[in-house]
């Protein structure tokens, strides 16, 4: 696991996609368009065995061909091991449709990745850092 320090971007994200928010047993998912092909899927609450499949579907549906997505878990208070299946599904979907995604999270996400020995995912500590990584790797 790599934790990327904060990176300050010159611009702010902010336009709504018009896609309705989704709530699933303890978690809320919201999509915002950051720029043309970049979206932010923000999650609030807890991710566990009951709602991880809903998050997987919700986020996977937003990974379109050549798209870039920030999965923002910075407001997630708890994430269980079922969250790893979400990350694996997103990686498979991204590879399938030539899309890219990055992960933003705080201590709960960092602990999960550390406990699982996950070293392939790069965890960003801020939205700005994640957006910068997607722009650089374009």
The residue ranges of every structural domain in the chain are 2-136
Q: Please, are residues 13 and 32 in contact by the beta-carbon 8 Å criterion?
A: yes
Compute the 3-state secondary structure of the chain and give helix, strand, coil in percent, each to the nearest 5: 35, 35, 30
| Per-residue model confidence (pLDDT) at position 137 | 65
Stated length of the chain: 138
| Per-residue model confidence (pLDDT) at position 23 | 59
| Per-residue model confidence (pLDDT) at position 26 | 86
Give the pair of three-digit tokens for residue 95.
């590879």
What topology does CATH give the domain 2-136?
A: Transcription Regulator spoIIAA (3.30.750)
| Per-residue model confidence (pLDDT) at position 87 | 98
Exposure letters 81-93 (e unless 16+ CB within 10 A, then b): ebbbebbebbeeb
| Beta strands 68-79 and 100-105, pairing class | parallel
| Per-residue model confidence (pLDDT) at position 138 | 56
The gap between the terminal CA atoms of the chain, to the nearest Å, is 22
Return the H-helix or E-strand segment holding 11: none
pLDDT 10s per residue in the chain (138 long)? 555 444 333 333 334 444 445 556 789 999 999 998 999 999 999 999 999 999 999 999 999 999 999 999 999 999 999 999 999 999 999 999 999 999 999 999 999 999 999 999 989 999 999 999 999 865
| Per-residue model confidence (pLDDT) at position 8 | 36
């Amino acid at each position: 696991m790599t934790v990327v320090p904060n990176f300050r971007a010159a611009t702010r994200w902010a336009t709504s996609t018009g896609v309705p928010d989704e709530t699933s047993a303890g978690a809320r998912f919201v999509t915002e368009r950051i720029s043309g092909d970049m979206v932010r899927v923000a999650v609030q609450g807890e991710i566990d065995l009951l709602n991880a499949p809903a998050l997987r579907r919700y986020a996977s549906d937003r990974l379109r061909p050549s798209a870039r997505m920030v999965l923002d878990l910075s407001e997630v208070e708890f994430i269980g091991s079922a969250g790893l299946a979400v990350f694996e599904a997103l990686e498979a979907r991204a590879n399938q449709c030539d899309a890219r995604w990055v992960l933003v999270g705080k201590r709960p996400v960092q602990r999960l990745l550390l406990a699982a020995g996950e070293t392939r995912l790069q965890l960003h500590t801020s939205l700005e850092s994640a957006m910068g990584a997607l722009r650089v790797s374009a």
